[in-house]
Amino acid sequence: MVSSQSVTTAVHPVCWYVRLRSGADTAAMIEGGGPEMAEAVGGMFVGYEQYADDTGGHWYRATCDYRYFLGDDPRDYNDFARAWLEGRTPVYLPDGQAPPESVIDGATLARAAWDAVTIPTATISYNPMVGDVGATIVGWDTWVWATGDTPREVQVSATAGSTTATITATASMLTLQPKDGTAKCTGSGSRGARTTTPGVRTAR
């Protein structure tokens, strides 16, 4: 079965720009701290002097937070954060101008996509099936299978900005749990799982 669905979910970026002081407050902080402050901090806020009278605009600094990383390996976060932060010095933006776009990494986007998708429930049929109530025959072998409405594969693609992640889930087996045991059928095709119905007149 092929089905399509579209969902929207919110994902906090792993790395983004956080707003700092206004131009006027930043200049006052640097100049009020004397030569030591100007030497230690002034080099980060390049050109801060020209914004010393601006109270509407703000400085923005790039930052990353591991709490928003959904990957399995912490080393992946370290590599991603290091690459994203490299060369990103604080930037000044006038009032009303949006900060630079944040980036959602592939692992976080893939996990968010998987959490948002709904996998269709398998549809089951069986034989023998007697009457309109779906009764089977006590003591006889009953063949059970997933019908054509059951998806063999579910693929999910998610996009945020310039990043796209695609994940695929493939059905590997059908597991049945009748009252007298468990039956499994692996793979796909025309094979069915067989179970015996002891003393049960209606399949459920």
Residue 199 confidence (pLDDT) above 50: no
Chain segment 50-104, per-residue pLDDT in tens: 999 999 999 999 999 988 887 667 888 898 899 989 988 899 999 989 888 887 7
Contact of 136 with 125, CB cutoff 8 Å: no
In this prediction the pTM is 0.58
Chain segment 145-181, per-residue pLDDT in tens: 888 777 778 888 888 877 888 888 887 887 877 777 6
Across-strand partners of 139?
none
Measured between alpha carbons, how far is 67 from 69 in angstroms, rounded to an integer? 6
pLDDT band at 21 (very low <50, low <70, confident <90, very high): very high
CA-based R_g, the chain, Å: 30
